[in-house]
Amino acid sequence: MWVEFDGLKAEKYLEQIGLSAQAPIFHPKTYSPDNEIKEHLSYLIEHPNGSDMALLGHLLLFLNALLENTSADCKTNTGSLKSFYVREALNFIEQNYMTNITPEDVAQSCNLNRSYLGKIFKEIMNSTIQDFLIKYRLNKACEMMKNKDVKLKDVAEANGYPNQFYFSKMFKKEYNMTPREWRAKNL
């Protein structure tokens, strides 16, 4: 029997189980003709037109059963998984900072609980998601403010701030000067 699947985490899951192009055969710790591995694989084969959620659920349970019964000496590398999620969060911020996104939106984009993503983000980036988002937006704002023809109102809106007053407040809190003072000093 075989099952085909793909996705961002597919290769990582297979590595954790001990499967690769160099080692394509699964070797269980123990063999039993009636086990969870066979049960979930059989479901996938017998229900090819099942709902996407049911198929995905059984696929993940199948992979988990393989992981729990592998004879391969594989250690789950949670550090790289954490890094993956933080990279995904950073990509989301980079692509959406100009809108009014929140840390909840960032976590939702990664399909993670906000507190868990916040914890691993702080661990890897030494910053909360909120603080990073503020600094990222303000850094982008500084780049824009180097062009003296761009109005501060436009800078605020282009960097995810609902109005110029809030932008100025956050800017002063971070840089100890107003955007106008920063612009005068840096042009």
pLDDT band, very low/low/confident/very high, at 175 (cuts 50, 70, 90) = very high
C-alpha neighbours within 13 Å on the C-beta side of residue 156: 17
Helix axes 114-125, 129-145, angle to 10 degrees: 60
pLDDT score for 76:
47
* 30 Cβ neighbours under 8 A, 6+ residues apart: 69
Mean pLDDT of the chain: 88
Q: Number of helices (H) and strands (E), helices first, in the chain?
A: 10, 0
Q: What is the pLDDT of residues 51-84, one digit of tens each?
A: 988 988 998 898 888 888 887 765 444 457 888 8
Q: What is the pLDDT of residues 5-55, one digit of tens each?
A: 776 567 778 888 888 888 888 888 877 777 888 888 889 889 989 998 898
The answer to whether residue 89 scores a pLDDT higher than 50 is yes
The DSSP code for 162 is: S
pLDDT score for 73:
65
pLDDT score for 71:
79
Strand partners, 28: 70
Q: Token pair 């600094």 is at which residue?
A: 135
